[in-house]
Amino acid sequence: MAPTETLESIIATSGPPPHFVLVPLVAQGHIIPMVDLAHLLAERGARASLITTPVNAARLHSVADGARRAKLPLEIVELPFPPADDVLPQGCENVDQVTDNDHFLPLFHAIHRLAGPLESYLRALARRPSCIISDWCNSWTAGVASSVGIPRLFFHGPSCFYSLCDLNASTHGLHERAYTSATAEAEGHETYVVPGMPVRVEVTKATCVGFLDAPGFEAFREDCLEAIRTADGAVVNTFLDLEEQFVACYEAALGKPVWALGPFYINSNRDAQSMTSRGRKTSVDQSAVTEWLDAMDPGSVIYVSFGSIAQKLPKQLYEVGHGLEDSGQPLLWVVKDAEAALPEAAEWLKALEARTVGRGLVLRGWAPQLAILSHRAVGGFVTHCGWNSLLESIAHGVPIVTWPHFADQFLNERLAVDVLGIGVPVGAALPVMLFGDEAVPVVRGDVARAVSELMDGGEVAEERRRKAREYGERAHRAMEKGGSSYENLTLLIQSFRLSGGKETRHTGLQKEQQEKQIMSC
């Protein structure tokens, strides 16, 4: 490269732009970052095609419309939902529609059968796409990519801290088995230290099971791990100034490039509407929420939401509500429609609203989280530690109360509390089953204590806030021109433009990466 040529100018002048085919898992927490990634790619001139099924595509209408209005090379590609086993209810195409623990596997099996339709779609294109970026759980794309001859990157949703722990623990056979509530209660508190981590990470056996480490999922998980081994690289929704050593060590452990491009959602050019919905209609009037927040003191409100999957029974909701009320703090709490639909819960929530009138707002359904987190009245977030929520909180400089429920969430909590110093644990020690788990692992006293500790005016709380603000600033810098995520995206797009879909360059890239990283880990 001549010294006067920048990567940008090369991208602008050399050949047709690369075409990325994105294949998210059919779960809200996986679709949202992929939609954001598609925008990032398209805004930088690459073509982005996001593959999904009819129910999910219908939720993405506003995304497609917004892209059309902005003349972005971004499209939603709808493939027919494949025939499913009889147990899967008709029309169930997303994890958030599942109402029974036994429906997850049939849903994943059905999605697996998209391999044929995806291959036909790819072969019918006038030009072979440059690269597939698929959720690591969509291991079925590995066969499609190799059969059509396209490089494949996997997208892994959580922090690299989690991904590295998971990889190392499973390599050492430490994910022994899944725990039910009963066995977890009995033996799950036993701890071990995750091997090979650059910092000491001690976890309990019950909270540190791997993703998909559940009975019946063994073959599925094995396929997913194999698809990681055979991929050409990884794309992650994080940034170097947040967890550089874990990104570097994950890269070294995988032996292939890891492109840290996040936080994906930070994208100045998107209109508010497409940012708010991102694949799910908000059932909440955003201006009413903003108006309510406007009346609150800066940094005084505690925002509470547990993501798209976990559902609480009434007796569990009551512990959350009483705890928030007892903290004495202004509260903005998001309750799911399904949770609020039960008559006894509905009545109880009304009574809570009556008791906290003027300082409490309960939202029912899917809330405009980015608008809430960006409001100056919000001073803390009680979160389940799903990575999207955690990263959004970090990027807005909002410190958190950590209440992990399952999967990667317990390790994301360790990162937030022990490594970043921006969280207060509520004290959740055991994972919850997704539906119908009767246990009440966290009680009102825990909630009130953690919220008060987070929101108080003391030095420790102030230091936590200072750190959160600092990471928030770094997140935005990473996404600006010259920032690490921005420049990693430049490199990603450039490498696929040069390779034009051939795999050879990527093998070279991988080697280079491996040598560089092994030295630093």
Ligand X SMILES: *[C@@H]1O[C@H](CO)[C@@H](O)[C@H](O)[C@H]1NC(C)=O
Positions that interact with ligand X (CB under 6 A): 164, 168, 171-172, 195-198, 240, 249, 252-253, 257-259, 484, 487-488, 491, 521
Residue 253 or residue 361: which is nearer to ligand X going by CB? 253
Side-chain-facing half-sphere of 436: CA atoms under 13 Å:
6
Residue 185 DSSP symbol: H
Residue 82 or residue 196: which is nearer to ligand X going by CB? 196
- The answer to whether residues 346 and 363 touch, using CB atoms and an 8 Å cutoff, is no
Phi, psi (rounded to 5 degrees) for 383? -125, 155
Residue 331 or residue 478: which is nearer to ligand X going by CB? 478
Judged on CB neighbours under 10 Å (0-12, 13-18, 19+), 100 is middle
Residue 409 or residue 485: which is nearer to ligand X going by CB? 485
User: Whole-angstrom Cα distance, residue 153 to residue 233?
Assistant: 5
Collapsing DSSP states into helix, strand and coil, what is residue 21? strand
Residue 458 or residue 482: which is nearer to ligand X going by CB? 482
User: Whole-angstrom Cα distance, residue 167 to residue 150?
Assistant: 25
Q: How far is the CB of 189 from ligand X (least distance, A)?
A: 24
Task: Tell the residue number behind the tokens 């991102």, with chain if given.
Answer: 278
User: ω into residue 263 within 30 of 0, thus cis?
Assistant: yes
Give the H/E segment covering residue 335: strand 331-335
Kind of pairing between the strands at 131-135 and 152-156: parallel
Give the H/E segment covering residue 382: strand 378-383
User: Whole-angstrom Cα distance, residue 372 to residue 352?
Assistant: 21
User: Whole-angstrom Cα distance, residue 386 to residue 454?
Assistant: 19
Q: How far is the CB of 169 from ligand X (least distance, A)?
A: 9
Give the H/E segment covering residue 305: strand 301-305
What tokens appear for 61 in the block?
A: 């209408």
Side-chain-facing half-sphere of 82: CA atoms under 13 Å:
16
Q: How far is the CB of 484 from ligand X (least distance, A)?
A: 4
Q: How far is the CB of 479 from ligand X (least distance, A)?
A: 13
Q: How far is the CB of 390 from ligand X (least distance, A)?
A: 22
Comparing every residue's Cβ against ligand X, the nearest one is 196
Q: What's at 490, amino acid-wise? A: T
- The answer to whether residues 271 and 295 touch, using CB atoms and an 8 Å cutoff, is no
Residue 121 or residue 259: which is nearer to ligand X going by CB? 259
Q: How far is the CB of 194 from ligand X (least distance, A)?
A: 9
Task: Tell the residue number behind the tokens 């690459």, with chain if given.
Answer: 46
Residue 370 or residue 491: which is nearer to ligand X going by CB? 491
Instruction: Report DSSP letters for 250-262, one per residue.
Output: HHHHHTS-EEE--
Q: How far is the CB of 165 from ligand X (least distance, A)?
A: 9
Q: How far is the CB of 261 from ligand X (least distance, A)?
A: 9
Residue 359 or residue 476: which is nearer to ligand X going by CB? 476
Q: How far is the CB of 212 from ligand X (least distance, A)?
A: 19
Residue 33 or residue 379: which is nearer to ligand X going by CB? 33
User: Whole-angstrom Cα distance, residue 266 to residue 486?
Assistant: 11
Q: How far is the CB of 431 from ligand X (least distance, A)?
A: 24
Q: How far is the CB of 206 from ligand X (least distance, A)?
A: 22
Residue 56 or residue 163: which is nearer to ligand X going by CB? 163
Give the H/E segment covering residue 362: strand 360-364
Instruction: Report DSSP letters for 422-452, one per residue.
Output: -EEE----S---SSS-----S-HHHHHHHHH
Residue 180 or residue 514: which is nearer to ligand X going by CB? 514
- CA geometry: angle 191, 193, 194, nearest 5 deg: 125
What tokens appear for 351 in the block?
A: 């009574």
Residue 163 or residue 369: which is nearer to ligand X going by CB? 163
Residue 139 or residue 488: which is nearer to ligand X going by CB? 488
Q: How far is the CB of 97 from ligand X (least distance, A)?
A: 36
Instruction: Report DSSP letters for 41-98, one per residue.
Output: HHHTT-EEEEEE-HHHHHHTHHHHHHHHHTT-SEEEEE-PPPP--TTSPTT--SGGG-
| Strands of 87-165, DSSP E | 131-135, 152-156
Q: How far is the CB of 513 from ligand X (least distance, A)?
A: 6
